[in-house]
Homo-oligomer: A and B are copies of this chain.
């Protein structure tokens, strides 16, 4: 599935800061719930609000954070703005974490 060439781990590892930033966006229960809620479809803000019992302004803020992290795509439609998961970006984060784990465990088997 991962279309990354194993020869250039740089594109996976990225800078620690880069990965850290995206993980920071994921490191809040509400935002994880939002992602689950978004699922594959696109939702408007209100829909998420109804699901979360947080103030609308708070949810909007969380959505903004996810958008700024590049994990969610945002289309400011008229009244009902559309929020939609950026699956590729999310998959990239997952890959980064996997890469991290592997790089940490690699020594054991002397994989290099």
**Residues in B whose Cβ lies below 8 Å from that of A30:** 16
**Residues in B whose Cβ lies below 8 Å from that of A31:** 20
**Residues in B whose Cβ lies below 8 Å from that of A41:** 107
Q: Are A91 and B101 in contact (CB under 8 A)?
A: yes
| Of B26, B40, B103, the contact of A23 (CB 8 Å cutoff) | B26
With CB as the reference atom, state the residue of chain B lying closest to A85: B104
**Residues in B whose Cβ lies below 8 Å from that of A20:** 26-29, 31-32
| Of B17, B23, B91, B107, the contact of A39 (CB 8 Å cutoff) | B107
- Give the CA-CA distance A30 to B20 in the complex, in Å: 9
Q: Are B94 and A35 in contact (CB under 8 A)?
A: no
